[in-house]
Amino acid sequence: MIETEISITVNRKPDINLIEQKIIENKFQFPIYLREYEFSYQINFTSDYEEWELDTAILNSFPGYEFTKNLEKGRKEIRIQIMRYQSELSTDGWGRQIENPLNETKYLVKTSASKPEKFSPKIKVLFEDKEEYYFINIVDGINKTTDEKGFLLLDDFKTKNEDGNAEILKDKLYKSPQEAFQWGFYKISDVVENDFNIYLENKKKEIREIQKLPRKIIRDFINACNSSDESNILKHLDEQIIFEKRKNWKTIFEVEGISKFKEYLSSSEQELCGKDFKIRSSWNFNLPNVTIGVKYFPSSVDKGSKFNLKYEQMTITLDNNKIVGIIYEI
């Protein structure tokens, strides 16, 4: 059982009868202690429940008042104070210690005057790391049928329209600038979504353009390997090419320089030429590195069964439209 100690301070003595009545109406099944001081009353009791309904009953008895946990700057009369406390050693019905035991204080104070919060009509939207700006333009309006005054939205969300010379959205007359701003925020979503789709499409075009030449270089290199065309293999390579063969992420063979690589191609140990590599559809670009998956049928297997396909990977490093590094993972 989790016990909650509840302490109520009544700072206006004439309020004590009302608070006492609300306590009686709750029919608490435990002793209630009342202490009288010169200017206040103190009420204390311990319950196996937090008794939140008492807050509601008290609040309903004081129109124009509200409970707050944080007193604003400046002095405010605290008419009633309610404190709830649970010991850090409190346990539940199974003997387990509870997490985050209750320890809070509420103050009954006059409801704060509602002041409209100012806002900026400028809305920043992030398209990844690119900043875009939109504006909610609000103008005065009037219902000519009823002479009711209010505010309207301009059908222009892309510029700060201080002249009000855009078309007016004829959806409704808003009662306050805050209401118009809130609805305007929802309305810009269609404009933003359309712009974002254009942004993504343009980005795809840019990526395709950036990747176009590296893809061609790698495809030509693989095709030359498949054809065992040494001259076309070498023409894509930098003079300082580094070729590394790995198995289970460990380097098992490495050569550096185009002459050494040429010797490798002519040796019986070479594993690049004549395999009829097929480049898999998923290319991983992290320029200057491009990782591709390749598949092929080993010469000794039945090529009619896809289960005999062998899958390998190459990471190719490019610089100045030349291949400067190849990591071949078998």
The answer for residues whose C-beta is within 8 angstroms of residue 26's C-beta and 6 or more apart is 51, 53, 54, 57
Q: Is the pLDDT reported for residue 221 higher than 90?
A: yes
Helices of type H across the chain: 16-25, 52-60, 177-226, 230-235, 258-266
Q: Is the pLDDT reported for residue 230 higher than 70?
A: yes
Give the DSSP per-residue string, 264-325. Answer: HHHSTT--STTS--EEEEEEEEETTEEEEEEEE--TTS-TT-GGG-EEEEEEEEEETTEEEE
Rounded CA gap, 326 and 218, in Å?
11
Which pLDDT score, from 0 to 100, does residue 70 have? 81
Give the model confidence (pLDDT) of 82-122 as tens digits: 999 988 776 665 666 667 788 999 999 988 776 777 889 99
CB of 4 closer than 8 Å to CB of 48:
yes
Our CA angle for 7, 11, 17, nearest 5°, is: 80
Residue 86's CB is within 10 A of a number of other CB atoms, namely 17
Residue with tokens 């009619």: 304
Whether the pTM exceeds 0.75: the reply is no
Question: Which run of H or of E encompasses 127?
Answer: strand 122-127
Which pLDDT score, from 0 to 100, does residue 259 have? 94
Amino acid letter, residue 241: I
Which pLDDT score, from 0 to 100, does residue 73 have? 58
Beta bridge partners of 245: 253, 328
pLDDT, mean of residues 17-34: 91
Q: What three-state secondary structure class fits 100?
A: coil
Rounded CA gap, 142 and 149, in Å?
4
Cis peptide before 288 (omega within 30 of 0): yes
pLDDT, mean of residues 170-179: 88
Give the model confidence (pLDDT) of 46-83 as tens digits: 988 889 999 999 999 999 999 988 876 556 789 999 99
Which pLDDT score, from 0 to 100, does residue 235 have? 93
CB of 167 closer than 8 Å to CB of 154:
yes
- Per-residue confidence band for 295, with pLDDT thresholds at 50, 70 and 90: very high
Of all residues in the chain, what percent carry a pLDDT higher than 70?
Answer: 94
- Per-residue confidence band for 199, with pLDDT thresholds at 50, 70 and 90: very high
Which pLDDT score, from 0 to 100, does residue 303 have? 67
Which pLDDT score, from 0 to 100, does residue 92 have? 61
Residues 24-47: b if buried by 16+ CB within 10 A, e if exposed: eeeeeeeeeeeeeeeebbebebeb
pLDDT, mean of residues 262-285: 92
CB of 225 closer than 8 Å to CB of 278:
no
Which pLDDT score, from 0 to 100, does residue 99 have? 73
Amino acid letter, residue 66: E
Which pLDDT score, from 0 to 100, does residue 291 have? 97
